Copies of this chain bind each other. A is one copy, B any other.
Amino acid sequence: MFYLICYDITEDNRRNRVAKVLETYGMRVQQSVFEAVLNETEYHQLQARLLKLLNKRQDQLRFYPLSPANRDRIVILGRQPEFTVDALTFIV
């Protein structure tokens, strides 16, 4: 399943560590926004790893699942991306 993952993390160290984990599962598309294609195991594994890093009172991280049909309806205004998450291989 395709997911959009975005986060609000104020503390630099924590934010960098979360971004590092996300980079092993998906592709950064904006400053605090990632895209990832995850199976069920990877999805739960990623959430478990991220939960260990988050300060649950201060930080927030969101997973938005998109269907293949809605994924085709994503609209990008302005600067266009060079490639899509499918062009990359992730070793998790």
Contact = CB atoms under 8 A, between A and B. Distances in A.
A81 to B, nearest CB: 8
A2 B76 CA distance: 16
Question: Could you say which of A32, A55, A65, A67 has the most chain B C-beta atoms within 10 Å of its C-beta?
Answer: A65
B64 A64 contact: yes
Given A56-B78, A60-B76, A61-B76, 12 more contacts: A4-B64, A6-B6, A8-B79, A30-B32, A55-B78, A56-B79, A58-B78, A59-B78, A60-B78, A63-B75, A65-B73, A65-B74
24 contacts: A4-B6, A4-B64, A6-B6, A6-B33, A29-B62, A30-B32, A47-B77, A50-B77, A54-B77, A54-B78, A55-B78, A56-B77, A56-B78, A59-B78, A59-B79, A60-B77, A60-B78, A62-B75, A62-B77, A63-B76, A63-B77, A64-B70, A65-B66, A67-B69
